[in-house]
Structure 1
């Protein structure tokens, strides 16, 4: 006998398990079938931290933030805007972590971006920082407020006061930071990081009853780890034009490209070299990365991510008499 589809249960996650963690109905459905979201829900529940997932968020300071020495500046700007570090740990991106972290967005990534991203994120340690939020409205999760404030990865979509603009975003890949879009992503993505970092680094902060106490500016667990990261990644200006000039003075394949293919229309030659030649060591590595990240197209034209970033407005409480589906409609149009 063949069972009908209606008779088969395909998720161990309850239909309403994500209702309080995301305002996106598509995400609620997809994450019921997502292994990391399921395990994350179990991990947070075991710690008694599911409610806490609305009051905390995280930022991952990527290797380009370390190379460009933007980490202290970013932490200071976050502090000014009400976010403060509760816990921190070094992490390293690998190709699998990258693809699973952005599983529902990577479908829109260009082949050029795919060719470059592992070289960038694999260029050294990143810093994962759990953040408290001293200024969030009661109805808005900390992750949603930070997502709205950080700004787009694309410089062309920059706003004057967004966080990435304030710290000097360079291009679509040199954007320095990754954050969770909403509490569902806090749960899912911290689970992904936990396979490498465990939970001990943030368990106390996640199981605390209160919002946590802001440390003094320029101090705390994240600042304490920065010397370790900066010792692993040389400081670099991340300047494309200066990088080309420095590469020209070399004697390797990158020097030849900097001499004969020093224009964006030759990005194919650079990516072909990247596929067959290891990046140089030290500062020259960041010279090459500055060139290729500056010239690639990051996204496939006309291809939308499976889960776009939803609007913070979708979390606003409905006014008396307002259609409760209005916020979801706004999300779809944003």
Structure 2
């Protein structure tokens, strides 16, 4: 059928509203409690492709019982990965599949496309160096508790706590993981099932789609040794020097170096000099080995993470939003 145009309506001269999405208007109704996200994801190519991965009803049920955690390079260097997995299992999220991958700037910006508008220039300058410092580990988790009937991803988002350390509580998972600051928070998770759809599609470009399809049809693991997450984590840790992620000790170690970073540490060793450090980061390279994490420890402690007064395009959906969602 030919699309209707203004010429088809000579009496009114009006052009009908264009349809700009191949995704059904109701496609994300049961995947998000946020109407703004439903509208945005209908136009998002990764969300659209992700829906194709979860086409069957049994796959859609999978989105409620399953979620993921990404152990970022700071978790690897800071040796928090096993602690994270221990605490998640203790709270009912059981790992059942895992795959290593490496962030690059494009993946970072697409993953946080709807939040990066609120990121400060300082954060943008640092985050690629942080996430590109080594391998990350994507771990799929099955929720064995499903408290209040909430989707696994929503329950994990609520338990994880706020990204801002100033808003943290003692029982937040991020606090229990030993989160250091706004960027050294060790993990990334999907907020709700709609994000699970979109973000797993993005990660598939690195992990392979066949791996995810196999996970969709896997029999729930019955033994503790069946998931390769801890073995893979140990292998990544073996390639990554351990670091304390302490900005004060990092500054002292850098001050003993004869290079430009040593000079900065000796002569510009206060938070007020962060712009000079960022300028050096832009113009040169981070030092190798543990000194790289020394510089990142100082910078992540000093920078402002968000632009004042700027809200993300899509806000984090809460457990209460889901409880009130029909």
TM range (shorter): over 0.9
**Kept after mapping to 2: 8 A contact 1:57/1:131:** yes
Per the alignment, in what secondary structure is the counterpart of residue 133 of structure 2? coil
Match in the other structure for 1:293: 300
Q: Deviations over 1:65-122 (max 9, x none)?
A: 0000000000000000000111000011000000000000000000000000000000
Q: Is residue 258 from structure 1 mapped to residue 265 from structure 2 by the alignment?
A: yes
Distance in 2, Cα, partners of 1:317 & 1:266: 47
For the pair shown, the structure with the greater C-alpha radius of gyration is 2
Distance in 1, Cα, partners of 2:260 & 2:181: 24
Q: How many correspondences in the alignment? A: 316
Which residues of structure 1 form unaligned runs of 5+?
319-323, 325-334
Name the TM-score, length of structure 2 as normaliser: 0.93
Change (3 A) 1:47 1:283: farther
Instruction: Determine which of 209, 223, 243 is the counterpart of 1:199.
Output: 209
Q: Is residue 152 from structure 1 mapped to residue 162 from structure 2 by the alignment?
A: yes
Which residues of structure 2 form unaligned runs of 5+?
8-13
Instruction: Determine which of 219, 238, 245 is the counterpart of 2:252.
Output: 245
Q: Deviations over 1:245-299 (max 9, x none)?
A: 1001110000000001111010000000000111111000000000000000000
Once the two structures are superposed, the pairs formed by residues 68-87 of structure 1 within 5 Å of their partners are: 68-87=78-97
Q: Is residue 213 from structure 1 mapped to residue 221 from structure 2 by the alignment?
A: yes
Distance in 1, Cα, partners of 2:122 & 2:167: 20
Per the alignment, in what secondary structure is the counterpart of residue 114 of structure 2? coil
Q: Is residue 268 from structure 1 mapped to residue 275 from structure 2 by the alignment?
A: yes
Per the alignment, in what secondary structure is the counterpart of residue 58 of structure 1? strand
Name the TM-score, length of structure 1 as normaliser: 0.91
Distance in 1, Cα, partners of 2:305 & 2:6: 46
Distance in 2, Cα, partners of 1:203 & 1:113: 35
Distance in 2, Cα, partners of 1:316 & 1:308: 17
Q: What is the root-mean-square deviation in Å for CA atoms of aligned residues?
A: 1.8
Per the alignment, in what secondary structure is the counterpart of residue 178 of structure 1? strand
